[in-house]
Homo-oligomer: A and B are copies of this chain.
Amino acid sequence: MADETNDFHLSCPVPITQYPHVVMAHGGGGRLMNQLIDRMFVAAFGNPALEERHDGARLDPEGRQLAFSTDSYVVRPLFFPGSDIGAMAVNGTVNDLAMCGARPRWLSAGFIIEEGLPMETLWRVVQSMREAAAAAGVQIVTGDTKVVDKGKGDGLYINTAGVGVIETGFLIRPASVRPGDAVLLSGDVGRHGMAIMSVREGLDFESPITSDCAPLAAMVLDLLGAGIEVRCLRDLTRGGLAAALNEIATVARVQIDIEEAAVPVTDPVRGACEILGLDPFYVANEGRLVAFVPAEQARQALTVMQRHDPGRNACRIGVVKTEFPERVTLRSRIGASRILDLLSGEQLPRIC
């Protein structure tokens, strides 16, 4: 997200008189590509690894085990209330690493740019990535730039891969989930997807819905630092809460039983979902997670999560059971129980 008070917000560092838009040659391995890399990417992300202009970066994990993850970002539109593709590309991979119990350290960035993208647009995205990286404490140490023909892209796709240092002896993964574990949720669900939807469809809600896009690593590291025996973590991106819980229930071969009323959904998100016939449990988030922890540590874990901005409204939403393995069950206010299944696809495409 652009912070207009930041000194770095100068005008676009690539001369835009001659090339106001990205041309094929910006991905061609010649002078124009070198100029773009030096003046824009290295200038924005600057660190010794990147400045060496070598084929790869050197990392020193100091003998620790690592987590490694990747995600491509194809969100449409590139900018939306509360965030943009650049911040998402950093936070998304930061969060994937955090879900492994790792401190995110190093990112790669691969840009696939459609010929004709305004250079100023690219610059806004790069600045947003720079700020998100600084906020999450990661360095963008290596990258790649490709330009594809006009009409053969959608403005900009970004891939990030990340390496983080694992800071726990616990194996944080679906297979570690145990019957009786408490299911904690870090906050309200459905905001990212509905923020995208509102822009894309030109919907005008009374209260604008903003994306929840945020880095979750500090909260996770704080949980581990507090001695919480975290069994599994999952951020609630594509497919939302329902997909995350179903994947964990399947791999761990357990039942996950959720109390429907315990899952926070803001009024604007609930209203927008009702109008559009969507279920907020299936809508993507970019700054929310579920944590599976031993029941006796649930209260302490919530206190830790609530100290962090993206965990301010953290709450306990359910419990791990054994009666219906590989099923996610939803208990309603009046005690009825139904299955929260996976959809075959998604309600909203291209939201991440």
Task: Give me the interface of A with B, judged by CB distance under 8 Å.
Answer: 23-34, 52-61, 63, 65-74, 95-97, 99-100, 102, 106, 108-112, 141-144, 146-149, 151-154, 157, 159, 161-164, 166, 173-175, 233-235, 237-240, 243, 247, 251, 284, 342-346, 349-350, 352
CA distance A100 to B141 in the complex (A): 14
Report the bound CA distance from A25 to B346 in whole Å: 6
Flag if A157 contacts B345 (CB, 8 Å). Answer: no
Contacts of A141 in B (CB 8 A): 68
Question: In the bound complex, do residue A344 and residue B54 qualify as a contact, i.e. CB atoms below 8 Å apart?
Answer: no
Knowing that A28-B346, A68-B106, A144-B159 touch, tell me 6 more A-B residue pairs with CB under 8 angstroms: A27-B238, A33-B345, A52-B173, A146-B352, A152-B153, A163-B163
Instruction: Tell me the complex Cα distance, A43–B141, Å.
Output: 32
A346 to B24 Cα, complex, angstroms: 8
**A109 cross-chain contacts in B, Cβ below 8 A:** 70
Q: Which of B30, B111, B159, B163 contacts A342 (CB 8 A)?
A: B30
User: In whole angstroms, what is the CA distance A95 to B154 when docked?
Assistant: 29
Of the candidates B26, B55, B173, the one whose C-beta lies within 8 Å of that of A99 is B55
A243, chain B: closest CB distance, angstroms: 5
Count of identical protomers in the assembly: 2
- Bound together, the chains give a CA A72 to CA B113 distance in angstroms of 11
Chain B residues contacting A52 (CB-CB under 8 Å) are 173-175, 251
A345 contacts across to B, CB distance below 8 A: 23-26, 28, 30-33
A139 to B350, CA, bound (A): 29
Closest B residue by C-beta to A352:
B146
Q: Would you give the shortest CB distance from A115 to chain B, in whole angstroms? A: 9
**What residues of chain B lie closer than 8 Å to A146, measured between beta carbons?**
72-74, 157, 352
A56 touches B60 (CB 8 A): no
Q: Residues of B contacting A164 with CB < 8 Å? A: 56
A56–B65 Cα gap in the complex (Å)?
13
A149 in complex: contacting residue of B67, B144, B349, CB < 8 Å = B349
A69/B56 in contact, CB under 8 A: yes
In the complex, which residues of chain B have a beta carbon less than 8 angstroms from the beta carbon of A161? 70, 108, 110, 159, 161
A266 to B251, CA, bound (A): 54
